[in-house]
Each structure stands twice: as structure tokens, then as C-alpha cells.
A and B are shown apart, each in its own frame.
Chain A
Amino acid sequence: MSILKDLFKAIKGGVSEVGESVVDANLIRILEQDIRDDSNAINKAKQSLTQLKGTEIGLKRKIDSLTTDITDYEAKTVEALDAGKEDLAIQVAEKIADLESEKDILFTEHTALAKEVLQLNKMIKTRSSNLEKGKRELEKIKTVEQLQKTTASINKNFASTKSSGNRVADSLARAKKKQQEWKDNQKAGDWMEEEESSSDLDKKLSEEGIGGKKTSANDILERLKNKNKS
């Protein structure tokens, strides 16, 4: 099942008018019911699986204990035969036959159970995959539904500005202007930073007496004195 084509039914010559009715309430209900059914079925199957597994473990234990008993009685039969007590040996052999038929019955049950467990597992897998698909389909509907909620507020936005002819062009121009201002401000900030760091450098240099050293009145006086001397 694909919901998308139901949501946007294409008609000859274009797509049908998409209105409030695009998300069919029935469709959502059916899908939600499917999802609930699938998860209920999965939960039930998991419960049965636990029970079956319990039974399976019990059966296995019984079969094991029967196997031990049979081996035990077999040894005893041999012992009885060795002791020449044939009557007793026959009785034990009959007991073994009983135990073996009981074991056969349990074994058949166990096989049937294992088959059932396999089927349940398969069913859980299919249902889980259905469930995921269903959830994805529902998500498509919910998406369209949520998007549609924005339509009303969008329409209101447009309606209030529709009177001005070049709505988009005007907004775009304002946005671009602000973007440019922002860039200019950033450039100005960069310039300021550079300026500050370079004046820092000049300060440092002059402190160290490197480069543009300011001539003081004393320096001039000294220079003139020297000139007179020579």
C-alpha cells in the first residue's frame, strides 16, 4: 500500500486541487488500526512464543530423563540376563518398551512444537516489517498534515503584504541590504582589529627605540650644540 498517490491524486491535465481534504481521516484511521493490529499480533505471538519455549524446555527435560532411564534399564537387563534371570530380564525389557514409546510420543510433540516456534518467528518477522511500513506511511500523512497547518499562517503572511506589488523584490532588496551591511560591519571590525594590532606594534617598536623615534627638544639642543663645536 502506498499512501503518497492517494495523498496527491494526479488527474489529467494537472494535479487535483490540494485542499483541507487532502488528508483523508478514514485513511489515517485505517492505517492506525493496521498498525495497532500488527503490534497486538506481534505482542500475542511473543507471549505464545515464551509459553511454547517453556513447554519445549520441559519436554526436552522429560525426553532427556527418559533417555537416561532407558540406558539404565538396558544395563539392568544385561545384568539380569548375565545372572540367568530371564523372567526378570523380560520384565525390564517390557519396561524399556513402555519408556521408549513414551519417549516417541514426547519426541513427536517436541518436533511439532519446534515447527510452531519457527512459524511464530516467521509471523513476527512479517508483522514487524508490516508495522514498520505502516509507520512510514503514517509518517507521510502526518508530514503532509503538519505542513498543511503552516499553510494557514503562510497565507496570512502573504495576505497582509499582498497589496504591495513587488513584495518579494522589496523584501529581497531589504534582505540583501542587511546582508551587505552585515558584511561591511564585519569588514569594519576586521579593519579595526588590524589597526589596533598594528598600532600596538608601533608602540612596542618605539618603546624599544626602533623605527620612528620621536625627536625631543633635548635632542635638537644637543644636535645644535654639536654643530657649533664642529
Chain B
Amino acid sequence: MQNNLQELSLILNEMSTDEGTTFEAVFVDDEILEVTCSNNDEFSIHVVMTEKQILTVTPLFSADEVPKEKVNELNSLLLRVSPAVPLSSVGLQDNNYILFGAMSVNTTIENISHELEVQAENTIDVLETISPLLK
């Protein structure tokens, strides 16, 4: 698994997609690869692997950044937004709102890189939609 992540980081650092996106992949932990996409270098993506899946996680904001009276409105908006977002979904991880994607470990590098660049783009879209509800 770790070997696969290492392989992925090597390829990502060298490649560029059809849309011209490039990647900077750095290990922040033995098992966590942090990928910054050139189309959105403000919100990086954490990539982890299980035996079967590649999981891509973009931390959006902490629940502490949402005013208490807006929590319900925000959650309901996110639930409605999520199906409209291509390839990524919105979720809660611990106390943090995240955007995430999941792929089979057998996914080709073209699809992985595409998924990453789309997720980077989605991050901006989703945050723009909900940012009026943040502190």
C-alpha cells in the first residue's frame, strides 16, 4: 500500500493533465500523501490508501468555524449541494467538514489525476456556495 502511494507521488510530481494541471505531492506521514494541484494551491488534498481504495480528502473547514445558529442551514445546504458536485462528496471527518473522493486501487493514473484536479476545482465551488454561512 505504502509502496503504491510512493509510486503515485513520483508519477504525480512529474505529470501534467490534459487541462494543464500539475501536482505537488509530499508525504506528511508514512501513510498520508498531501497533494497540491496547480488549479487550486490553497486547499490541498490528503491521499490515503486501503487495500482496496484510494481516498482523497480535502479539509474544508472546522465545525468551529460555523456559527451555532447556522449549523443546520449549512448542513442541509451541503447535503443538497453534494449530489451536484462531480466525482466528490461532502462529509464530516471528526470535527472537520471535508470534500472527499474514493477510487479503486486499480484506477489508472489518468483517472486519479483527473479526479484530483476536479476535486481541487470542486473545493472552490463548494466553498463559494457555503462561505456566507461561515464565521
> Interface residues, chain A, CB within 8 Å of chain B?
18-19, 139, 142-143, 146-155, 157-158, 162, 165-169, 171-172, 174-176, 178-179, 182
Contact = CB atoms under 8 A, between A and B. Distances in A.
Nearest to A146: B48
A176 B124 contact: yes
Contact of A150 (B48, B53, B134): B48
A147 B98 CA distance: 11
Given A147-B55, A150-B57, A157-B59, A168 B131 contact: yes
B57 A168 contact: no
Main secondary structure of the interface of A (DSSP, over half): helix
Contacts of B49: 146
Main secondary structure of the interface of B (DSSP, over half): strand
A18 B91 CA distance: 13
Given A158-B62, A165-B135, A171 B94 contact: no
Interface stretch (B10-18, B39-47, B77-85): B39-47
Contacts of A151: 93-94, 96
Contacts of B61: 158, 167-168
Given A150-B46, A151-B96, A153-B46, A168 B53 contact: no
Given A154-B96, A172-B131, A175-B43, A167 B32 contact: no
Contacts of A182: 39
Interface in B80-135: 93-96, 98, 100, 102, 123-124, 127-128, 131, 134-135
A160 to B, nearest CB: 12
B26 to A, nearest CB: 11
B42 A153 contact: no
Among A149, A151, A154, A167, residue most surrounded by chain B Cβ atoms (within 10 Å): A154
A143 B46 contact: no
Given A151-B93, A167-B65, A139 B40 contact: no
Sort A-B residue pairs by CB-CB distance and give the 4 closest, nearest first.
Answer: A175-B42, A154-B59, A171-B42, A146-B48
Nearest to A171: B42
B7 interface: no
B4 interface: no
Contact of B41 (A19, A142, A162, A178): A178
Contacts of A152: 29
A136 B59 CA distance: 26
Contacts of A157: 59
Given A154-B46, A172-B124, A178-B40, 13 more contacts: A18-B94, A147-B48, A149-B32, A150-B59, A150-B93, A152-B29, A153-B29, A154-B57, A155-B96, A157-B59, A165-B135, A167-B61, A175-B41
Contacts of A155: 62, 94-96
B128 to A, nearest CB: 7
